[in-house]
Amino acid sequence: MNNILAIILKDTFTELQLKHRLKVLKSHLLKALFGGKEQFLSREDLNWLSSVSQTLQTFHKDNVYQILEELESQSSQLPLLTIYLPVASTDNICLQIASMARKTFQNPKIILSAKYDPNLIAGCALVWKGVYRDYSLRVKIEEKKEELLGNFKKFLK
Amino acid sequence: MEIINLILVIIIILALFAYLREYILRQKLQKTGDKLLNDLKEKGWETLHQSITRSQDMLGQAELEGIKVVASSRFNTQRMEERYGEELAEIVRQAQQAINNSQTQFAAFINNLGQEAQSARGVSEKATQERINKLFGNLEERLSDFLVETSQKTQASIELELRAARALIDTYKQGQLKLIDENILAMMEQTLATVLNKKLSLADHLDLIYEALEKAKAEKFIV
């Protein structure tokens, strides 16, 4: 069970991505095991399904629902790192940041939730277990406000 | 029946006997009374006669005494009138003399009073002048003190007002400067945001984000 989740998490980094892939997996397995209408899957989804095809062999008609439920339950308990970015986040950016985060904090289960905040200017702000901490340029400016103002006034003189 | 008649007859006889006894007693009493009255009447007449005689004597004596008194009183009255006239003349003379003396004394008193009044007036005028001078002196001194005190108070009040106004201006100035600083900072942030948005590459952004992650690790924010 943990093995399946670890395999999924290997190339799944964001919260949205995880939810989408679990949904795709569920749809694909139910269709494969019980038949039904074919759901439209993107190329990327198909590629991902083929990359985990080895793992899919562990699913049978009698355990598919139980495993899927457990997967959903465990996925909701994964450590979630919310990151506020001053730039619009793409999958590529999220992938790079999440990889770096997992590497930095030595936790391969970290899931990223990226949000956009243009007021940060540069850098980022993090939310971990409900605590917000700002590491952006805005905070640095605020910290060095007096120094900056002093320099600006000197420049004006 | 006979006994009753007998009792009645006895009662009637007793009653008659009692009546007769009473009648006899009354007749006796009446005779004694009449005799006593006649004695008294005679004695009364005698007494009355004596009284009339005595009163006539007394009247004659009284008339005589009255004539004597009248004669004496006329004489005395005349003598008293003469004496009263003399005494009255003496009194009038003395009164005239007293009035003259009084007039003289009164004139002297009035004259003296006038002199004293003149003197008192002079003294009073002098005292009044002195008091007025003193009053003016005090008034001038107090007015001067009051003016000095008022001037000091006004100066202190103005200084206080000025200090308060300066404090208010300073506060306002500080507030405005703070506002200006905040505006400058906001402008700088805005400018930086605009400039960095254009100038910073994605790699630069990622570098800053990695740096932030490292810092979070160093701070043990994410364990």
Least Cα separation, residue A96 to chain B (angstroms)? 8
For residue A14, what is the enclosing H or E element?
A: none
Query: At a CB cut-off of 8 Å and minimum separation 6, what does B211 contact?
Result: A123, A135
Least Cα separation, residue B211 to chain A (angstroms)? 8
CA distance A131 to B161: 51
> If you average pLDDT over every residue of chain B, what do you get?
92
B112-124 pLDDT, tens digit each: 999 999 999 999 9
Least Cα separation, residue B203 to chain A (angstroms)? 10
Question: Is the CB of B185 less than 8 angstroms away from the CB of A100?
Answer: no
Question: Is the CB of B196 less than 8 angstroms away from the CB of A141?
Answer: no
- Give which of A112, A113, A125 is closest to A86, Cα–Cα: A125
Contact, A100 vs B210, CB < 8 A?
yes
Tell me which range, A142-156, B181-195, B204-218, is most confidently predicted by mean pLDDT.
B204-218
Phi, psi of A120, deg, nearest 5: -70, -20
Question: Is the CB of B200 less than 8 angstroms away from the CB of A122?
Answer: yes
CA distance B97 to B95: 5
Question: Is the CB of A124 less than 8 angstroms away from the CB of B208?
Answer: yes
Q: Among partner residues B192, B205, B213, which is closest to A101 by beta-carbon distance?
A: B213
Between B195 and A126, residue with greater pLDDT: A126
Question: Is the CB of A81 less than 8 angstroms away from the CB of B222?
Answer: yes
Question: Is the CB of A123 less than 8 angstroms away from the CB of B208?
Answer: yes
Contact, B216 vs A139, CB < 8 A?
no
Q: Give pTM, 2 decimals.
A: 0.54
Q: Among partner residues A81, A118, A122, which is closest to B208 by beta-carbon distance?
A: A122
Contact, B209 vs A124, CB < 8 A?
yes
Local confidence band at B193 (pLDDT 50, 70, 90 cut-offs): confident
CA distance A4 to A9: 9
Mutate to test the interface with B, among A110, A116, A117, A135 (most CBs of B within 10 A): A135
Least Cα separation, residue B182 to chain A (angstroms)? 9
Q: CB-based contact (8 Å) between A149 and chain B?
A: yes
DSSP character for A118?
G
CA distance A70 to B183: 54
Local confidence band at A80 (pLDDT 50, 70, 90 cut-offs): very high
A47-74 pLDDT, tens digit each: 998 888 888 888 888 889 999 999 999 9
CA distance B142 to A65: 109
Question: Is the CB of B202 less than 8 angstroms away from the CB of A83?
Answer: no
Question: Is the CB of A100 less than 8 angstroms away from the CB of B213?
Answer: yes
**B interface toward A at CB cutoff 8 Å?**
181, 184-185, 188-189, 192-193, 196-197, 200, 202, 204-206, 208-217, 219, 221-223
Contact, A19 vs A46, CB < 8 A?
no
Question: Is the CB of B211 less than 8 angstroms away from the CB of A123?
Answer: yes
Question: Is the CB of A105 less than 8 angstroms away from the CB of B217?
Answer: yes
Token pair 């799944």 in the structure block, residue: A12
A131-134 sheet: strands from edge to edge: A111-116, A80-85, A125-128, A131-134
* CA neighbours closer than 13 Å in the CB half-sphere of residue B161: 6
For residue A149, what is the enclosing H or E element?
A: helix A145-156
CA distance B218 to B34: 174
Q: For residue B174, which residues of chain A lie inside 8 Å, CB to CB?
A: none
A92-134 pLDDT, tens digit each: 899 999 999 999 999 999 999 999 998 898 999 999 999 999 9
Question: Is the CB of B208 less than 8 angstroms away from the CB of A149?
Answer: no
Between B27 and A36, residue with greater pLDDT: B27
